[in-house]
Amino acid sequence: MAGVGSPLEPEPLQGRNMMPLGFRRAIGVTMLATVFSFCQPGVAGATGQAGSIWGADYFPNIPLITHEGKEVRFFDDLIKDKVVVINFIFTRCPDVCPLETARLREVQKILGDRVGKDVFIYSISIDPDYDKPHVLKAYAERYQIGPGWLFLTGSQADIVTLRRKLGMYNPEERGGNLKAHTLSLLIGNQSTGRWMRSSPFENPYVMATQVGSWLHNWKLPPREGQDYASAPQVRSVSPGENLFRTRCSACHTVGGGDVVGPNKEKLGPDLFAIGQKRERGWLIRFIKEPDRMIAEGDPLSLALLEAYDSVPMPNLSLNDADIEHLLRYIEEESRRKGAPESPPGTIAGEDGGEKRKGEP
């Protein structure tokens, strides 16, 4: 899970991911899943006003038509002040696009009603002469795409310009070899100027967490070196709740039961009263670096991994203050849901702490 939410090096949008598809595929899912890059403003030549976020003068404001036949402009209507997920598809695509679409559909399901309100998903056709609005509409219907996700078409030349600008154009496509199209998604928050590439093979829960976490910076100017908790509040929720919603809720509930994925896989344990079930030092470290604890062979971490083997708990690069906020939120929420008030820090098993059958 390297790279999830971690402060990666700034990268220009241009020129990334130019590997031919065949090679990229050969690398395999695991490696692809780690191909992330945060793209920060301030890259020479890419910024509009000095030091500012990529704005209208960076992104081409090309006209596009939605699968519902509505005319829109790329910058003004689609990305301005929004958190967006953008990918490029074509409906005649035999293999990878359906997979990409299916993955994104899971992301959309996980994000639920935030899609269309806080997050917008755009699939732009790279075969616009064939993918007329009615073709895209049929495609969206075939995948039962919900609101907040638009399929878009336009002029071939405009779309190529856009893709070049976004660094998502593969020169091998020239001559109509559409299959060479780069396989990646762009996740961005136009108002903070953060852009990140993600793989369509990324675990949808991790992707939803990434997108969700960006909402935390919703409309805030980009700032470096600050923890999430010290950022100004967006909604009137506690920093811990905010972190939980954006970082954890794709895989965990507090008192809502284990989160189960679309294929019935168990995604993560219910964290209800977890502070009473686990020793505090263990909890803090597990939230901070579960990957290392597993690598070190910590018995409890291994037992949990075995019980929830579909996704490992990712290392989300949280700092100590974040974790404090999170644990406080989980504790408060557990109490709201009826957890008895008892001192935290008791060790699992020794205090006869609540354990369900078959649970580590």
Give the residues lining the site for ligand HEC (CB under 6 A): 205-206, 209, 247-248, 250-252, 267-269, 271, 274, 278, 283, 286-287, 290, 304-305, 308, 311-314, 316, 318, 326
Q: Token digits for 232?
A: 């100004």
Q: How far is the CB of 358 from ligand HEC (least distance, A)?
A: 13
Of 127 and 289, the one with the shorter C-beta distance to ligand HEC is 289
Decide if 19 contacts 52 (C-beta within 8 A).
Answer: no
Of 1 and 168, the one with the shorter C-beta distance to ligand HEC is 1
Q: How far is the CB of 247 from ligand HEC (least distance, A)?
A: 4
DSSP 8-state symbol, 75: I
Of 97 and 304, the one with the shorter C-beta distance to ligand HEC is 304
Q: How far is the CB of 248 from ligand HEC (least distance, A)?
A: 3
Q: Which residues, 6+ apart, have CB-to-CB distance to 21 below 8 Å?
A: 96, 170, 179, 180, 181, 182, 183
Total residue length of the chain: 360
Of 160 and 305, the one with the shorter C-beta distance to ligand HEC is 305
Q: Token digits for 197?
A: 């590439």
Q: How far is the CB of 246 from ligand HEC (least distance, A)?
A: 9
- In the three-class reduction of DSSP (H, G, I as helix; E, B as strand; rest coil), residue 189 is classed as strand
Q: For residue 225, with 0-12 CB atoms within 10 Å meaning exposed, 13-18 middle and 19 or more buried, which class applies?
A: exposed
Of 13 and 208, the one with the shorter C-beta distance to ligand HEC is 208
Q: What are the Cα distances from residue 273, in Å, to 248, 258, 358?
A: 15, 13, 18
Q: How far is CA 247 from the centre of its chain?
A: 10
Of 181 and 252, the one with the shorter C-beta distance to ligand HEC is 252
Q: How far is the CB of 294 from ligand HEC (least distance, A)?
A: 7
Q: What is the DSSP string of 84-152?
A: EEEEEE-TT--SHHHHHHHHHHHHHHHHGGGBTTTEEEEEEES-TTT--HHHHHHHHHHTT--TTEEEE
Q: How far is the CB of 8 from ligand HEC (least distance, A)?
A: 18
